Every structure is written in C-alpha cells, then in structure tokens.
Chains A and B, each alone.
Chain A
C-alpha cells in the first residue's frame, strides 16, 4: 500500500514537476498568508505582520527545497540532471567521447566475446541432467589414455556395478540414398545404453533397447531433429519408416534398409560427436572372437555413475575387474596389444574441456589484460579532460557544489561512457563470437553453445559497471582534491605536477601490461615455429589427399574391394600432373588413429601396440618416406605370397636396438597368438612418421600391403604426389575415382600441407588471438605514452621556451622529452618483465620446445616495445624542439 503510494506520488512529481512545484509553492504561500493574517489579528499593521511572518517562517524557497528534497524522486532527478549534463559534456567533445567509447567498446566487446566462448566449455555444466555423473572410461597403456576395444567394454559393462548405464561408440558415416542426391552424413554407432548415459531420450519414438544392439541384429536408426526436419520435412509419421543407408564403416555386408525408431529432441546437444545426425546400434559380437574387430582400439566409452558412487570408487572397481576378465580372454587381449594396465575414469566435462582448457584460460587471461589496458587508457583520457575542466569544477565548487556532488558528477560521466562503450561492446561481442567460431580449431567442443546469451549479457553488464566506476574513480578523486581557488586562476599551473604523476604511473602500467601480452604472443609464435620445423617423417608439399569410403554392401568380398581400389589407382596414374599415387588405411596427421598388436618371434609372448598401416606399394614414394634398411613393399607382396612387413625406426630400435631386424618374423593383429597362422617377415625399416600430431612422439608403426592383411579396409585414403599445385588436382582425381564407380563417397579432400597446419590449429588459434591482443596493447600503450608526453610538452611550453632562449639546442630539447618518455617505458618494461615471467607459466602447456623464459623472445619484445615507444616520443619531442622562444616568452 504505502510502497504503492510512494511510487505513484513520486512518479506524479517526476512526470509533472511544474504542477507539483506549483502545488507546493501555493501551500507554502498559503502558510505564509495565514501566518500574516494571524499576526494581523493580533493587532499588527499589515506591513509589520508580513515581516513578522517572514521572520517566523524563514526563506520560503528554502522551505520548498526542504520539502522537495525529502522524496525519493529527488535522487532520481539529480541523477537525470547529472546524466543530461554528462551527455552534454560528451556531445560537446565528440572526439574525446568517440575515442573513449571506441576503446571501451573494443575492450568490453573482446572480453565478452571470449567469455561467451569460454563459459559453455569450461564453466557451464554440460546440457544433460546430473551431467557431473557422466564419465569417460579409457584403457591405461604406456602410462596414457588409450581407446578401449569392444572386448574391454563388454567385460567391464557386464561385471561393473558402479554405473547406471554404460555405452561404447564409434563414428559412422552413412550415406542416405534413394531420395534425391546421395548425401553423406556424420553419425555414430552406439551401444544401446548411449542415450540413457547422457540422460536424453528421443522426443519421438523410442530409445535403443538391448534387443536392437545384437550381433547381426535389426537395422534401426534414430535421427537428429535437424536431419528429420531437413531431409524428411519433420514428418510426424516418420517412426517405422524404412530409409536406405549405405553403410561405410562396417567390414561386414549389411542390409542397407534401416527402420527409423526415434527422433532426438531439438535441443539435444551431442558433445561426444557434435556433428552426428543419426545413430544406429553398435551390434558387435559379444562372444568376442579373438581375431576380430571386437579387439581393435577404436571405440570410445562413456558411462553414468550411480548416485553415491565416486569416480575413484568406480575406477578401482573397474581396475579389479580387469585382470580376471583379461585371463578369460587372453587371446583377444593379445591381438589388442595385451591386457591394459588399468582403466582411467575422467568426467565427461573434463574430457570435453581438457584439450582446450589451457588455451582458453590463457586467452581469457590475455583478454583481461587487454581490458585493463583499455581501462587505463580511458582513465588517462579522463584525467586529461579533467585537467582541461579544472576551471569548470572550480566554478561549480565556488557556487556551492560539494566535493561529493562533484565526484558523483564525474562518476556519472564515466559510467555513461562505460554504458555507451558496453553497448558498443555487445555489438562487437556479437561479431566477435562469429569470428571466433569461424576461426576456432576443429576440435573446439560445444561450438553450438557459443553465443551471446543472458549469462554473457550479465557478464558484460557487470564488467561495464566495474569499468565505469574504476575509470571514473581516479579522475573524480583528483578533481575533488583540486583547490577551487587555484582552479579559478586560469594561468595557474601549480597542481600539474601531482596530476602528471598519476598519468605517468598509468602509462607505466600500460607498458607493463603490453609487454606481458607481447611476450606471451612471442612465445607462442616461437613454439609454432619450432613445431613446424619438426620433420613429420614425410614430405608434405605437393600432396593431395582424400578418403574413399567404399560402402560395405556392394563390395562385400575382399577381393572385389581390393580390385576396386586398384582400378581407382590405375585411373589416377594416367592423369597429367601426378607423380605417384597410393592408398593408405590411416592417413598421418588426419585424426586417424588405429593401433594393433604385433608380436615378435624373437620375444615370444610379448605383444607391442603399434600403428597399423595397410598401404599400396607406391605409398612410400608418394609420401617420400625414406627407407632406412632393407627394401620397400612392392607388387610382389600380393595375396598368397609370404607376408612382408616394414617397421618404423622407433619400433626397430625398441625391439632390436643395434641388431638388424631384417628377416625377423612377426605376427600382427588378428593373427597374434595363433600358432597355426604363418609368421610374417620384416623386409625393411622406414623412417618414423608423425601420426597424431607434430608434437607427439609416438612413432612405433608397421606397414603391410592391403592384400597381405587379414581384410581389405573399406575406408582408405588416397595420397597423390603432384607435380604442380596439389589443390588444383582435387577435381580430376575425384573424377578418376568416380570413373570406376560413380557412387563411391569421396570425403575429406585436403592437401597434406593443410592437414599439417590443422594439427596445430589450436595453438595457431591461440596465437592469432594473442597476436591481435598484443597488437592492440602495443597501440594503446604507444597512444598512452604519446598522450602523456604531448600533454607534458604543452604544459612545459614556457619552460622549454626559456631553455631555448637560454641557448639549449634542439637536440638537447628533443633529448629532454625523449628521456622523459623512455624513462616511463623503461619502468613499465621492468615491471612487465616480472609480470611476463609469471604469466608465461600460465601458457606453459601451449609452449613447445621453448622455455617460458626464452631470452630471444624477451629481447625481441623489449626491442620492439622500445622502438615503438621511441616513435611515440618522437612527435611530442619534435614539437618541443620547434618551440619558438620569442613567442612563448611574449605570451607571458
């Protein structure tokens, strides 16, 4: 009730101030009249009565002011007046206003954009119910995380009691055929519990059941909402419909007609495979035959903990299960490289964020530095403005404005600036988010969730307010300390010294912050340099690659499939501009990862896990992988001939040290541990090749021809060495493949150089951002130095004039100004060096082959920052040197 009255009364006054004031004036006047009348009634004469009444009541205006000031609306009114005044101030100084708003807008915008990218990845929980219970499970081998095989998954999921649901998954790239153009989709093969683990059920139809996930079970598929709307125009009758899929990732021929059983909800975000649009059951063989794909390490495993079970408890339970299960399936595990040492359980959120966390945190740190520099710069601008407005403040103070009133005015002004800057910042952030997503490395998780949402807006508002207060505070305290007396004397320059002191220390801090950013950017740059100078083991120039995904159903038999790939090679060889061409089962640096076991006759029973490559003989020629010993594979290594194997130098060294491995015998993959299977013979040693990334040293590998491996892979990559530009041959090569079979899906077309660059996409992403930020910091710091020096030159005009009149040379005056500027720079750099040494520890995870205290980087940055600030000193110095002593002295 009373609140309502407060509000309505206050609003009435606010909206109609004249009427309210009139009312009040009338009431006060009436009071005065009645008092007068009362005095008259006592017998005083009219004139006397009026005087007596005035005496009793006091100043009518003061009475009115007293009543006016008591309502809450008065505070609002003052604020509005302050705002109007502030707006007028900015309008009258458009140059200053635009500069400050631009700097703040860029600073706030950059920070907000980065925050909107970092927030969903690092801070927000994943978009699943109780997402903290979702765990990833890995095999532990050689001290690291390795993908589990289906055998491991089956063993653990059958025996473990710690989890509500468990699932294994692998990528799947089926093509939808039969309706319009064949189109290749990203999908996943998952075990039945997959959606239960995530806690999201289909919006339409049903989830997978264990009956769906049977060996040779029914072909059922669940669609994403997007695919359902795009390809099937959101048909509500879709459940039960048959669609035809060409399944490309199974080695077995499968019926290509799939029944749609469900459609996922529109908001479903699949962080484990963000691009996946359809899901089918895994349908592996639970009897785990030892020489089958069930033992390949190509599955990912995810599980949901029972409530009350901790990650550690679950891990130790799984660790306990493993040995007994391993004994029961010794053969299977042998073909998979042995029983893993244990399991590693990490939360899905950590798993999703882990790869990008160091980069994101570093970028977040960098943007905070940029924001700080921007704020310092604007504070400096405000201080300079404050110096020009000293007269104005002095007049206001002299007219009775209190210190607090003046401070409030200044803070209002800086808040207004910040809000305008923040508004611009949100626009900048919206654009920035788009740029970020476009630039983002391919592995960046939750890209779909990166947007300017309410959390981001609140964040922007919060930093805007903080900055408004922060940048306004120093100038406000400054202005309120000014002595109005000296301010009124326009020529007075007495308080300049202290004032310049604050501005100088701000410039010092700007230089220091800029140095921190420059050093970080420099260290990243050097790291990338180091990485790209690493020899990948092959010659990446002039290589074109693409993947051919032969669909399982038409070339069901290995020999038919082998012939298909041979014919494709043949048709490519006749193209002009091609030096050599080959197929490989997994392409280095492409994200492919396939490891199989290999056992050596000389060390019987000991299994080793290594990258397995099935390559056509020209592969080494096309990739220019040097041969170290023995011979390369050739056409003679065909089906039926004794199996020939090449091994990598690392594998040779780890097994045979200095002895000659040529002629040693091995069994690989599905043949391991089978005494009835023939031994294969090592015929040569080739140089190590980087498979995962340039920075990862994992190079134990073996090579066979496809004809001599247990099966012919249905997804193989083409490697073409071209004479000229690699990219320009993409179309002819693809057409050559299609000339053999026009329905073969061809994907992942890229030059090897592109792939090489992609492997370091994350570091490169961080580097681009750091470079941009460092550049901004450098420019802002230089502007800061320039601003302070030119201000100081203007203020010291007279002193400089006197010096010149007394015979100071131009050189000595230039030196005077430059010395002043470079002293600031030197101080800033000294502080910045300490900051950089500390900050570089934060980006250690992103550095490669470079110490965080790398002297080359530090020296280069100091030289660069020094020369830029010298440049910034140059203009004011030049101006000082041109001071005409006659003019300055006459002006006195």
Chain B
C-alpha cells in the first residue's frame, strides 16, 4: 500500500461534501468518487465518516435526502443541497479561503 496520507483534512469534510453537492444531487458513493477524482486522488473519503457526516449535515438542515433510481436503475439515497446548505457552503468557503491564504502567507514568509 502506498504510504501517502489520503485522509481528508480535519474539519473540511463538511465543506467538501457541500461543494460537491452544489453541482448536482448525488448519492454517497458518488460524492466519495467525485471528491477523489477532483482532488486527483489526494483525498480518499472513508465511507463511515462520509455517511456519518451526511447524517449530521442532513440533521443540521443543510441537506435533503431521498431514495431515487440511479442511471443504471438501482435504488440509492440521493442527497441535495438546501438553501441553508448553500449559505453554509459560502460561509465555510470564505472562512477556508481566509485561513488557507493566511497559512500560505506564513509558510512563504518562513521559506
């Protein structure tokens, strides 16, 4: 097994999920795959954490869920962003940008 750390950075999983769902409603596996693809394999999402996070986000009112047919006619639980979820994504994105650029500045200053 390769030793590279593929864990999602702590505290960012919610944001990643919200961002992914802002494109289109998706089921759990779809979200995991999309995160993996877009991050080009840097992040791998663990299904236990993902499903727990989905349940939490749904209860927080940021996601809605429903059972639907997939394109290959299977039943899957699809998650969609709510209006509150959209707002939350903006808040978290802004917060993340602010903090990551700050970290980048600190690191540059040291380098």
Contacts and interface: CB of A to CB of B under 8 A. Distances in A.
B33 A2 contact: no
B51 interface: yes
Contacts of B51: 24, 27-28, 31, 63, 66-67
Contacts of B56: 70
Interface string A496-523: 0000000000000000000000000000
A38 B59 contact: no
A23 B84 CA distance: 25
B52 A38 contact: no
A2 B59 contact: yes
B58 A9 contact: yes
Contacts of A178: none
B77 A2 contact: no
B34 interface: no
A687 B56 CA distance: 91
A62 B84 contact: no
B32, B47, B60, B77 — most chain A CB neighbours (10 Å): B47
A71 interface: yes
A58 B44 CA distance: 14
Contacts of B33: 38
Nearest to B72: A37
A34 B60 contact: no
Contacts of B61: 1-2, 5
A63 B60 contact: no
Nearest to A71: B55
Interface in B15-33: 27-30, 32-33
A66 B59 contact: no
B36 to A, nearest CB: 10
A67 B48 contact: yes
A2 B76 CA distance: 24
Interface in A1-30: 1-2, 5-6, 9-10, 23-24, 26-28, 30
Contacts of A30: 27-29, 74-77
Contacts of B48: 58, 62-63, 66-67
B58 A31 contact: no
A489 B74 CA distance: 54
A321 to B, nearest CB: 73
What band does the interface of chain A fall in when counting residues whose beta carbon is under 8 Å from B? 20 to 34
A33 interface: yes
A318 B8 CA distance: 82
B52 A67 contact: yes
A81 interface: no
A79 interface: no
Nearest to B32: A31
A597 B91 CA distance: 91
A558 B52 CA distance: 98
Interface string B54-88: 01101111000000000000111100000010000
A686 B56 CA distance: 93
Nearest to B1: A55
A448 B33 CA distance: 75
B59 A28 contact: no
What band does the interface of chain B fall in when counting residues whose beta carbon is under 8 Å from A? 20 to 34
B28, B30, B48, B76 — most chain A CB neighbours (10 Å): B48
A10 B55 CA distance: 11
Contacts of A24: 51
A23 B76 CA distance: 10
Interface string A26-57: 11101101110010000000000000000001
Contacts of B32: 31
A6 B58 CA distance: 9
Contact of A31 (B29, B49, B52, B75): B29
A70 B27 contact: no
B76 A1 contact: no
A57 B45 CA distance: 10
B55 A5 contact: no
B55 A70 contact: yes
A5 B59 contact: yes
Contact of B47 (A6, A26, A63, A71): A63
A27 B32 CA distance: 14
A9 B60 CA distance: 10
B60 A5 contact: yes
A30 B33 CA distance: 14
Contact of B28 (A2, A27, A66, A71): A27
A833 to B, nearest CB: 61
A66 B52 contact: yes
Contact of B29 (A1, A5, A34): A34
A10 B56 CA distance: 11
Contacts of B76: 27, 30, 34
B44 to A, nearest CB: 8
A28 B50 CA distance: 11
A726 B49 CA distance: 90
B60 A67 contact: no
Contacts of A38: 29, 33
Nearest to A57: B47
A23 B29 CA distance: 15
Contacts of A1: 61, 84
A70 B52 contact: yes
Contacts of B46: 58
Contacts of A67: 48, 51-52, 55
Contacts of A62: 48
A206 B72 CA distance: 88
A820 to B, nearest CB: 57
Nearest to B56: A70
Contacts of A2: 59-61, 84
A422 B51 CA distance: 43
A23 B77 CA distance: 9
Nearest to A34: B29
A70 B58 CA distance: 13
A641 B19 CA distance: 118
B59 A6 contact: yes
A58 B51 CA distance: 14
A569 B76 CA distance: 106
A70 B59 CA distance: 11
A87 B30 CA distance: 46
Contacts of B30: 34
Given A1-B84, A23-B77, A70-B52, A31 B47 contact: yes
A303 to B, nearest CB: 62
Contacts of A70: 52, 55-56
Nearest to B53: A70
A67 to B, nearest CB: 5
A70 B84 CA distance: 22
Nearest to A55: B1
A5 B57 CA distance: 10
A9 B47 contact: no
Nearest to B60: A2
A606 B46 CA distance: 104
Contacts of B47: 28, 31, 57-58, 63
A70 B55 CA distance: 8
Nearest to A37: B72
Contacts of B52: 66-67, 70
Given A1-B84, A23-B77, A35 B59 contact: no
A10, A26, A35, A67 — most chain B CB neighbours (10 Å): A67
10 contacts: A2-B60, A5-B59, A30-B27, A34-B30, A38-B29, A38-B33, A63-B47, A66-B49, A67-B51, A70-B52
Given A38-B29, A38-B33, A63-B48, 20 more contacts: A5-B58, A5-B59, A5-B60, A9-B58, A26-B75, A26-B77, A27-B76, A27-B77, A28-B51, A30-B27, A30-B74, A31-B28, A31-B32, A31-B47, A34-B29, A57-B47, A66-B52, A67-B51, A67-B55, A70-B56
Interface of A: 1-2, 5-6, 9-10, 23-24, 26-28, 30-31, 33-35, 38, 57-58, 62-63, 66-67, 70-71
Interface of B: 27-30, 32-33, 46-49, 51-52, 55-56, 58-61, 74-77, 84
Query: Can you list the 7 inter-chain pairs with the closest CB atoms, starting with the nearest?
Result: A34-B29, A66-B48, A2-B61, A63-B48, A70-B52, A67-B51, A2-B60
